[in-house]
Structure 1
Amino acid sequence: MLAVVLIAEVMDLLDATITGVAAPAIAADLGGGRETAQWLGAAYTLPFAVLLITAGRLGDRYGRRPLFLIGAAGFTLASALCALAPGPGSLIAARALQGACGALLLPQGFGIIKETFPEAELGKAFGLFGPVMGLCAVGGPVVGGLLAGADLFGTGWRMVFLVNLPLGLAALAGALRWVPRGAPDAGLRIDVPSVLLAGAASGALVYPLVEGRELGWPAWVFALLAAGPLGFLLFVRLQHRRPSPLMTPSLLTNRGYTGGILVAVAFFASFTGLMMVLSLFLQGPLGLSPQGAGYAIAPMALGIAVAAGPAGALARRHGRVVIQCGIVLTAVGLGVLAATAGGASDGWRLVPGTFVTGLGMGLVIPPLFDVILAGVSEPEVGSASGVLNAAQQLANAVGVALLVTVWSAFTDHGRAPAAALSATALVTAALLAAALGLSIRLPRRTRA
């Protein structure tokens, strides 16, 4: 049963990372350019972020096993539709279905583990998630480049999505065989207005950033950008008035938790947006293949792997200081990247900057959620972790939309692509400076 849940986790994590490297090749084949590359990520992460908050409650209401089966089947079907997509519109629609099904799938796995394992074994069961998530995060970009560039059986980039089919079928067969039937809570209510409001606010943030450049930045684009934060403020106020809110209202007055959400949003927006800009730069101006781009980004993944190992133990001893050091080291790596990217004619000149950036990120990623959740009481942990994961997914979408737009703006105004990459790296460092300033609100120690 644990293997089945881990397979579902692998499907989601691989799909969230391998498409970043494959996106330029997909856009070049189907058309749409950078806009298509941006929507490939946003179409997945937006429905994922919105539905993730309430998907756990749907499992409580209707049963975790049925929701797990629906999510696994839908994710597998959506992967096949992505692989068969004839154009960018159908591919983006299939990606949105993937994100929605992934949001249904993942929370059920955590709930199933908690229902199945005795208290004494829960730590061992959840302990396997760390290595699996780390391997997917580190290997995803490289695997994506290899699959997109290998052209196995003449599939080209479509193998990036076809690889999910055997995983999805294995998850379905295993769930039917081993996942236990739980007892649904028929009296639980789902807060539909809050879900719709969160979705509208998320779309208002991302859509203008992706489409604004193509449309010439009309006034309504800026109105939508302003409406996004206002929508989230209204969402927060609504949680105090709803009989069954999506997030525990007491979290909204928790200074450490709300500050932690902002740190996570700034950090993950920087990380995901930079990865997409690097992919576009390597496969566009530098003319590398998807495989070459995967290899060029590998030093960043290696840096994450090297630092992530000791990061957890260091954070248990030193708390938030480790995260702050990681943010500073990431910014230093971006400074090195900005200094070396200007004369880059191949991926090798980027290695020092990407490796140091990866080291900094490796110090931040493993302990960040543990530190953010340290100031949350036990009854609030479920709601707090769900909202935190949703905020990370939304940050991924916003980061890609924002930093690709920034890079495009620099190139549109006459900068050479390499110089535009240097400038974008400095903008990313500014985002991290904001995260560093907000980090003083984090709890001092990790959660046990």
Structure 2
Amino acid sequence: MTTIDTSLTNAPPGPAPYRWRWAALFVILAAEVMDMLDALVTNIAGPTIRVELGGSAATIQWLGAAYTLSMAVGLITGGRLGDIYGRKRMFLIGAIGFTVGSLLCAVAQSPELLVGARVVQGLFGAVMLPQGLGMIKEMFPPKEMQAAFGMFGPVMGLSSVGGPVLAGWLIDADFFGTGWRMIFLINIPLGAAAVIAGLRYLPESRSPHPLKLDFPGMLLASLAGLLIVFPLVQGREHDWPLWSFLMIAGSIAVFAIFGWYEARKSRRGGDPLVVPSLFRKRAFTGGLVTGLVFFSGMIGFSLVFNLYTQIGLGYSTLTAGLSMVPWSLGMVVGFGLAQPLQKYGRKLLHGGTILMALGVLAILITLNVAGIGVTPWQLAPALLVTGIGMGMLMAPFFDIVLAGVEQHETGSASGTLTAVQQLGSAFGVALLGTVFFGLLGGNVAAAADDVTPKLRADLAAVQVTGARQDAIVADLRACGHDRAVAKDPEQVPASCVRLEQSARAAATSPESGAAIQKAVMTAGTEAGKEGFGGAMKTILLVVDGMLLLTFLVAFLLPKHAREGDAAGH
């Protein structure tokens, strides 16, 4: 097999590259698209699913969490299964299982069955996804490796932005009366095409050394992943109880035990699940840290921005998705700009990080200038710059991280890197989601204070003064706060019931009642939008901080993926 190391310029020529490598790459990318779409669509479809199937707010939360959790705990094992039984075989098994899981999601008749089907999707996705990176390293010669890995950036970007757009369109279109079920049914032809094309174009690939499955290592890695992902996803729902922090602390202990066990197994000549030699490679260890920080910020920002545009600004599902299209287009542009600059290696990644941070800062400035009436067109320039920066950042990332991985380490490296992406995504959603929702109550209450002078003037115009006016103002503030922090959005807070009662009591005629209702509704809407805007501005500052951290930890990476790049530069 052709290896990645190009430092030995006098080495004899290796075998010819795999003939169908570009067709095989598109099969692998199709699997990535299915994964990215299904990781995101329930963020958009959740409220619609809940209306039809019922369930609590926690059930809706688990529609995404069940997928992420099962995917994260299975990924490292999935990479090793490809090493042992063959990457093509495990890719096809994973793709078939993922497609069946999608069908089970589409026909689910209860929240519990739907969540269970999401677990099936995640587990088979964990078998399917790690095989792709390993096959790419075997199929492509070093001179084409950058372009092959670089394709992941725009595909992931397009999928992350296209997922909400596609979900919103399919739900609104309600093809054949399927409603939200179509977001899962669409995976069936895509999965079938991936299986058929995979049978034809994917190469036979496995580790050249016979390996055994590391069952204790698999259990320890799964337990460690479960202990960190579960409290990150579920903790806010229960107001961060003691057990959530104990589980996170426990995950650190189990990860330490896992590392000790794997090193011990390797010293004794066994076949560890994660090859310890990987962590002696600067590119790989630096890539894990950089990927964890970056994906935390990117996925967390994507979720919170969608919440802000839909709930805060009142955009429709489709409009909220379409407003992110400039980000998607920016990623394609950034990827294109990065191709002739690949020789700059880490400098290119750093440049993309800086540009992305400037784009996020431009979003913040846009919100400050445009206020609560900000439109998708006003957001477009800043989102375009953010996307260009992300494309330039992602283009060299996988190539730098995996360039020095040896043949026998490929399965471990692919599974571990993809698992860290999933854990980073879960952490980012938990962190930024918790900060965002934690800020909402106070921000909405403060915004209610800002709109109070106009509300008092409107009430005074219809002869509502004194104690009745004070009661309406106080109840509006309390109602805004309580709605923002409510765990169950369907339950009307007591303060909002009091507000309605106070408004009715202040009315002296049908005309004055209508005027009071209009004044209260206007004030409440403005306070809500301003409160959401204030929370979003804080999140943007947090995201910029995470991008600064990404910039710093990227110094852990080598300057170039290969020595030849350094010489050429």
Q: Which residue in the other structure is 1:303 paired with?
A: 330
Report matched runs for 1:118-267 at 5 Å.
130-131=150-151, 134-135=154-155, 137-139=157-159, 140-141=162-163, 142-175=165-198, 188-242=211-265, 243-267=270-294
Task: Provide, for residues 330-380 of structure 1, a one-character-per-residue CA deviation record: whole Å limited to 9, x for no partner.
Answer: 222222223333524354243233222212211111111222234555654
Whether the aligned pair in 1 keeps the contact of 2:80 and 2:415 (CA below 8 Å) is no
Q: Which residue identity is paired with 1:258?
A: T
Give 2:90's match in structure 1, choosing from 56, 67, 71.
67
1:383 paired with 2:409, answer: no
Distance 1:51 1:138 in 2: 25
Choose 330-339 or 132-141, whichever is displaced more.
132-141
Opposite residue 244 of structure 1, the aligned amino acid is D
The equivalences for 1:82-121 within 5 A come to 82-109=105-132
Structure 1's 169 and 26: CA in aligned 2 closer, same or farther, altered over 3 A?
same
1:225: Cα distance to partner? 2.3
Offset, 1:443: 0.2
Structure-2 separation of matches of 1:10 and 1:230: 37
For residues 300 and 254 of structure 1, the distance between their equivalents in structure 2, rounded to whole angstroms, comes to 33
Among 432, 436, 441, the residue aligned to 2:551: 436
Residues in 2 aligned to 1:333 and 1:345: alpha-carbon distance in whole angstroms: 20
* In structure 1, C-alpha distance between the alignment counterparts of 2:322 and 2:66, rounded to whole Å: 26
Amino acid at match of 1:442: L
Letter in 2 for 1:338: L
SS at match of 2:235: helix
How far apart are the structure 2 equivalents of 1:36 and 1:24? 14
State the TM-score, normalized to the length of structure 2.
0.70
Shift of 1:151: 2.1
The structural deviation recorded for 1:77 is 0.8
Structure 1 residue 65 displacement after superposition: 4.8
Specify which of 368, 373, 381 is matched with residue 345 of structure 1. 373
Distance in 1, Cα, partners of 2:240 & 2:152: 42
The question of whether the paired residues in 1 share the 8 Å contact of 2:63 and 2:115 is answered with yes
Contact 1:79 1:98 survives alignment (8 Å) = yes
Deviations 1:408-438 (A, max 9, x none): 1111334411211111121122222222221
Give the secondary-structure state (helix, strand or coil) at the position aligned to 1:287: coil
User: Aligned letter for 2:154?
Assistant: G
Moved more, 394-403 or 75-84: 394-403
Query: For residue 361 of structure 2, what is the aligned residue in structure 1?
Result: 335
Q: Deviations over 1:65-114 (max 9, x none)?
A: 54333212211111111222334433232222112112212344566677
- Give the drift of 1:50: 3.0
Counterparts in 2 of 1:221 and 1:270: CA distance versus 1, 3 Å:
same
Q: 1:264 to 1:131 in 2, by over 3 A?
A: closer
Q: Distance in 2 between matches of 1:247 and 1:218?
A: 33
Structure 1 residues 313 and 134: alpha-carbon distance in aligned structure 2, compared to 1, 3 A threshold: same
Between 129-138 and 221-230, the greater mean CA deviation after superposition: 129-138
Partners of 2:385 and 2:202 lie apart in 1 by 42
- The worse-fitting range, judged by mean Cα deviation, of 179-188 and 362-371 is 179-188
Are residue 283 (structure 1) and residue 303 (structure 2) matched? no
Q: 1:420 aligns with which of 535, 546, 552?
A: 535
Q: Deviations over 1:122-156 (max 9, x none)?
A: 97699567547624531533333333332222222
User: Are the aligned partners of 2:39 and 2:67 in contact in 1 as well (CA < 8 Å)?
Assistant: no
Give 1 or 2 for the bigger CA radius of gyration: 2
Pair 1:324 & 2:350 matched: yes
**Where in structure 2 are the equivalents of 1:401-416 lying within 5 Å?**
401-415=430-444, 416=531
Matched to 1:90, the amino acid is L
Task: Judge which range, 26-35 or 49-58, deviates more.
Answer: 26-35
Give the stretch that moved more between structures: 383-392 or 160-169.
383-392
Aligned partner of 1:58: which letter? Answer: L
**Paired residues, number:** 444
CA distance in 2: counterparts of 1:152 and 1:85, whole angstroms:
18
Aligned-partner Cα distance in 2 for 1:239–1:136:
32
Checking the alignment, whether the CA contact within 8 Å between 1:210 and 1:405 is kept in structure 2 is no
Letter of the 2:430 partner, please give it.
A
Q: Which moved more, 1:46-55 or 1:266-275?
A: 46-55
CA distance in structure 2 between the aligned counterparts of 1:323 and 1:99, rounded to whole angstroms: 30
1:114–1:206 Cα change, 3 Å? closer
After superposition, the CA RMSD in angstroms is: 3.1
Contact kept? 2:146, 2:396, Cα under 8 Å = no
Q: Secondary structure at the match of 2:272?
A: coil
Deviation digits for residues 33-74 of structure 1 (CA, Å, limit 9, x no counterpart): 775565343322333233222223323433445433321221
Per the TM alignment, residue 203 of structure 1 is displaced from its structure 2 partner at its CA by 2.1
How many Å apart are 1:270 and its aligned residue?
A: 0.7
Q: 1:426 to 1:112 in 2, by over 3 A?
A: closer
Mean alpha-carbon deviation: is it higher for 364-373 or for 26-35?
26-35
Q: Structure 1 residue 9 and structure 2 residue 29: aligned?
A: yes
Q: What residue in structure 2 maps to residue 52 of structure 1?
A: 75
Tell me if structure 2 keeps the 8 A contact 1:374–1:446: yes
Identity score, percent? 41
CA distance in 2, matches of 1:305, 1:346: 25
Structure 1: unaligned runs, 5 residues or longer: none
Question: Structure 1-normalised TM-score?
Answer: 0.87
Q: Distance in 2 between matches of 1:292 and 1:209?
A: 30
**Deviation by residue 1:224-258 (Cα, 9 ceiling, x = unmatched):** 22223333233222220122112221222334432
State the AA in 1 paired with 2:290.
V
